[in-house]
């Protein structure tokens, strides 16, 4: 099935809520982080560009995000991918990302899952030993390679948009944690990075709730103190979250650990593909990694691993940037048909915080 045909299936679905209203999904996870791929039942999405489509679903169709991401059909840390028709001629599929708070600009763990999905569902023809495709994300085109052998897809790697460092050792005052230094980098989304020791934590033993509380405080402090700018579009100039690391940034053959807290304090179960991209950009800037070395990044939540390495230098507007390769594995967990009954008082979802 071509990407445009798949997008049309989504856009032309019946918007009526005469019972039962059905949305169909394919369920996957990458490193423990869910990917709910919406395959059928979504209303028509207006807009010529992918950023216009992102704005349209945010402003006009947000109730559908709530229904799919929030309870009772989802949960606080659910993550979704909505396939749309790309406007980039080089792209095979387009995608909008969604979570508990809104709409991401890039998602590495979802691109890994979507790579397998596109190959397995015939969106692109499968080729051995690997299949190449391009996914248009709101941040830009992402090149994806899917290992394919003996009729089965496997490991996926991707090159995202150029990654760059926005600030190093930026000092911010964080309520309850004092004055800390953060690095801010873009890997498809902007993140603040700091070691766990700066927050009085140890990622190996700290409860997830403690990491979430600290990271959320850092995110709010950075948002207030540091105006961001993006060389491509102002809609991309916002801090998506904070990534707390184990501080082991110098190259080592063993994994370095990090935990990403994004959106409305969602905890990523994976090492965070766009976060790994941004972290590699920081390590490259500091001379801690080079293209001959591939680094392992482990999730503080699950221990799952992605790899990352710098590929080549480039520029994006005023910023010195680097293309980063990230790789990992994604797995299917099922399929679903979600219904909405018009007389259900909780039909539009809710969150328990």
Q: What is the pLDDT of residues 23-60, one digit of tens each?
A: 999 999 999 999 999 999 999 999 999 999 999 999 99
Q: Which of 281, 215, 274, 269 is nearest to 242 (CA)?
A: 215
Write phi, then psi, for 82 (nearest 5 degrees).
-110, 115
Whole-number average pLDDT of the chain: 94
- Inside any domain, residue 296: yes
Angle of the 62-69 helix axis to the 50-60 helix axis, nearest 10: 80
Report how far residue 74's alpha carbon sits from residue 101's, in angstroms, rounded to the nearest whole number.
13
β-bridge partners, 22: 339
Sorting pLDDT into bands at 50, 70 and 90, what band is 20? Answer: low
186 shares its domain with 308: yes
Q: Same structural domain for residues 83 and 181?
A: no
For residues 260 and 275, give the distance between their C-alpha atoms in angstroms, rounded to a whole number. 8
Do 183 and 226 reside in the same domain of the chain? Answer: yes
CA 246-251-254 angle, 5° bins: 65
Q: 347 in a domain, yes or no?
A: no
Q: Are residues 214 and 78 in the same domain?
A: no
Angle, vertex CA 142, rays to CA 277 and CA 187, nearest 5: 25
111 belongs to a structural domain: yes
| Residue 246 belongs to some domain of the structure | yes
**Cα–chain center distance at 164:** 17
Number of domains forming the structure of the chain:
2
Asked if residue 129 has a cis previous peptide bond (ω within 30° of 0), the answer is yes
Residue 19 reports pLDDT greater than 60:
no
pLDDT tier, 21 (very low <50, low <70, confident <90, very high otherwise)? confident
Q: What is the pLDDT of residues 104-134, one digit of tens each?
A: 999 999 999 999 999 999 999 999 999 999 9
Is the confidence at residue 167, as pLDDT, over 50? yes
Q: Structure pTM?
A: 0.93
Residue 12 has pLDDT above 80, yes or no: no
Q: Are residues 280 and 297 in the same domain?
A: yes
Phi, psi angles (nearest 5°) of residue 282: -65, -45
**Percent of the chain whose pLDDT exceeds 70:** 94
Closest CA to 263 of 353, 166, 334: 353
Query: Any bridge partners for residue 321, and if so which?
Result: 164, 314
* 102 and 216 belong to one structural domain: no
Please indicate, yes or no, whether residues 119 and 244 belong to a single structural domain of this protein: no
Mean pLDDT of 60-87: 97
Rounded distance between C-alpha atoms, residue 259 and residue 245, angstroms: 7
CATH number, domain containing residue 264: 3.10.310.10
3-class secondary structure per residue, the chain: CCHHHHHHHHHCCCCCCCCCEEEEEEEEEECCEEEEEEEECCCCCCCCCHHHHHHHHHHHCHHHHHHHHCECCCCCCCCEEEEECCCCCCCCEEEEEECCCCCCCCCHHHHHHHHHHHHHCCCCCCCCCEEEEEEEECCEEEEEEEEEECCEEEEEEEECCCEEEEEEEEEEEECCCEEEEEEEEECCCEEEEEEHHHHCCCCCCCCHHHHHHHHHHHHHHHHHHCCCCCCCCHHHCCEEEEEEECCCCCCCCCCEEEEEEECCCEECCCCCHHHHHHHHHHHHHCCCCCCCCCEEEEECCCCCEEEEEEEEEEEECCEEEEEEEEEECEEEEEEEEEEECCCCCCCCCECCC
Catalytic residues: 107
Domain that holds residue 244: 162-326
- Is the residue at 344 inside a domain? no
Is 265 within the bounds of a domain? yes
Determine the pLDDT at residue 6: 44
134-164 pLDDT, tens per residue? 999 999 999 999 999 999 999 999 999 999 9
**Same structural domain, 303 and 262:** yes
Q: Residues 203, 144: one domain?
A: no
Residue 195 within a domain: yes
Do the bridges between strand 80-84 and strand 33-40 make them parallel or antiparallel, or are there none, so unpaired? parallel
Determine, yes or no, domain membership for 1: no
Q: Using CA atoms, how far apart are residues 145 and 98, in angstroms rounded to an integer?
A: 23
β-partners of residue 145 are 132, 157
Joined tokens for residue 298? 């482990």
Q: Verify that 102 and 63 share a domain, yes or no.
A: yes
Asked whether residue 30 falls in the same domain as residue 178, the answer is no
Does residue 142 sit in the same domain as residue 193?
Answer: no
């Amino acid at each position: 099935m071509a990407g445009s045909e798949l997008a049309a299936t989504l856009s032309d679905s019946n918007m009526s809520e005469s019972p039962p209203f059905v949305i169909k999904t394919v369920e996957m996870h990458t490193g423990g982080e869910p990917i709910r791929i919406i395959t059928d039942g979504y209303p028509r999405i207006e807009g010529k560009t992918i950023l216009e489509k992102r704005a349209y679903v945010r402003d006009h169709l947000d109730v559908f995000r709530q229904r799919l991401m929030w309870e009772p059909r989802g949960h606080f840390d659910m993550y979704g991918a909505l396939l749309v028709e790309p406007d980039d001629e080089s792209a095979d599929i387009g995608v909008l990302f969604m979570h508990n708070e809104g709409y991401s600009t890039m998602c590495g763990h979802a691109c890994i899952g979507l790579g397998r999905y596109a190959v397995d569902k015939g969106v692109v023809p499968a080729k051995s030993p690997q299949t190449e495709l391009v996914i248009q994300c709101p941040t830009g085109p992402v090149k994806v390679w899917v290992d394919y052998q003996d009729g089965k897809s496997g490991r996926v790697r991707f090159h995202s948009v150029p990654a760059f460092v926005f600030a190093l050792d930026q000092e911010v005052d964080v309520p309850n944690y004092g004055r800390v230094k953060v690095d801010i980098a873009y890997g498809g989304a902007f993140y603040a990075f700091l070691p766990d020791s700066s927050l009085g934590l140890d990622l190996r033993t700290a409860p997830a709730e403690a990491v979430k509380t600290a990271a959320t405080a850092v995110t709010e402090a950075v948002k207030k103190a540091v105006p961001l700018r993006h060389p491509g579009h102002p809609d991309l100039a916002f801090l998506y979250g904070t990534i707390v690391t184990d501080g082991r940034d110098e190259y080592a053959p063993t994994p370095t650990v990090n935990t990403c807290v994004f959106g409305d304090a969602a905890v990523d179960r994976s090492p965070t593909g766009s976060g790994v991209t941004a972290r590699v950009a920081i390590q490259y800037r500091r001379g801690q990694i080079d293209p001959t070395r591939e680094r392992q990044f482990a999730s503080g939540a699950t221990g799952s691993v992605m790899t990352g390495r710098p590929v080549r230098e480039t520029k994006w507007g005023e910023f010195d940037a680097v293309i980063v390769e990230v790789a990992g594995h994604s797995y299917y967990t099922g399929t679903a048909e979600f219904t909405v009954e018009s007389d259900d008082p909780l039909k539009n979802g809710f969150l328990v915080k």
